[in-house]
A = this chain, B = another copy of it.
């Protein structure tokens, strides 16, 4: 095992002061004194590079391929693969036995990533439901558990529902809490900047009084974070490339709009979530939308369910109503889009639960995009959510995973406990 000079407390909810390996191109935040490195950190860094190649290469790579891809020497990658195998993060893969594909010479060992070396938990808390998802290191769900709850459930009872749902996923997948490396909980309302507390959630009674992060940390013994649901949904869409399976670079500059009971949004710029000073970025529900029924109050009333259904059935009045709604949305969003210059706006279909509503959502999207095109300098693309109802849950898993991956990128071999 490698111990790093920079090793902070690994149980901290924020993986702080680690070394991002990705290249930030332009002016970054002003830094304090940069960290120093010792020889031991080399191993950790290079192990991360090897691990990344093993994860992405297809078919399973051989040592020589790893050496070429990382530009490390073969003896070095060999030593690294041994360490990674010891830590359980990779394992030997069977050599492909297809007759024609085999090359002459001594057959090479091949390596593959072990996604089940660890797990993460994502939770989606809504007024009427609590859903927990246990996912492996490839963010593949291994167990999902949903609890229907009453909207007026008290905070502690809701927390109880969360822990019980999580515990159920663990039991279902026969995974112990110690195998969980991180957890993230998505919630409506505002979250503090450190992702440790729910600051405000007007439709969830006494929910802010619960120290849900503490509860989950006691349950799982790993870093836990809370985050706004729209923000997580944005992350989820980013992961899925917002529509395709292929990663889409335009998701690095994206605005996700969650059309729920209250309007919310998640903003991604430079590939990362925009959180703001108080963690309240994206709270577009308080915008004064023009022409909305409630003239004096901010916000945009949600579309009635029957209008959506009627529009899906091509009722002209309902279609017109949705088009008006889309234009209002675009109108209110225009200043935000001007300020952010996103490549993409993704409309979360939380408001259009079943597939029947999809045609209506498409009408809304078209109307909004068309109207926005006339208002903006560099109009973004508008898309419907690719994940639908699962966006928040997926995003929670991604959030948890990304905090783990920061560590994987720096000292993966120190994780084998």
Contact = CB atoms under 8 A, between A and B. Distances in A.
Interface of A: 5, 14-39, 41-42, 45-46, 48-49, 52-53, 56, 69-72, 190, 195, 235, 238, 247, 250, 252-253, 265, 267, 269-284, 286-288, 298, 332-336, 338-344, 375-378, 380, 398-399, 402-403, 406, 409
B30 A265 contact: no
B380 A341 contact: no
A8 to B, nearest CB: 9
Contacts of A38: 42
Residue from the set A28, A38, A274 with the largest chain B CB neighbour count within 10 Å: A28
| Overall SS of chain A's interface | loop
Given A25-B15, A271-B28, A406-B28, A42 B37 contact: yes
Given A19-B21, A21-B19, A272 B29 contact: yes
A320 B193 CA distance: 38
B19 A402 contact: no
Contacts of A335: 284, 287, 332-333, 335-336
Contacts of A281: 269, 339-341
Nearest to A194: B25
25 contacts: A16-B23, A20-B23, A21-B35, A23-B35, A24-B24, A26-B195, A29-B270, A29-B271, A30-B238, A31-B52, A33-B69, A36-B46, A36-B49, A36-B70, A38-B42, A253-B276, A269-B275, A269-B276, A276-B340, A277-B378, A280-B378, A281-B339, A287-B335, A287-B338, A339-B339
Nearest to A274: B269
A272 B26 CA distance: 8
Contacts of A338: 283-284, 286-287, 336
Contacts of A342: 276-277
Contacts of A298: 375
B70 A33 contact: yes
Nearest to A402: B27
Nearest 9 CB-CB pairs, A to B?
A29-B271, A276-B341, A21-B34, A277-B343, A27-B402, A22-B31, A253-B277, A281-B341, A278-B378
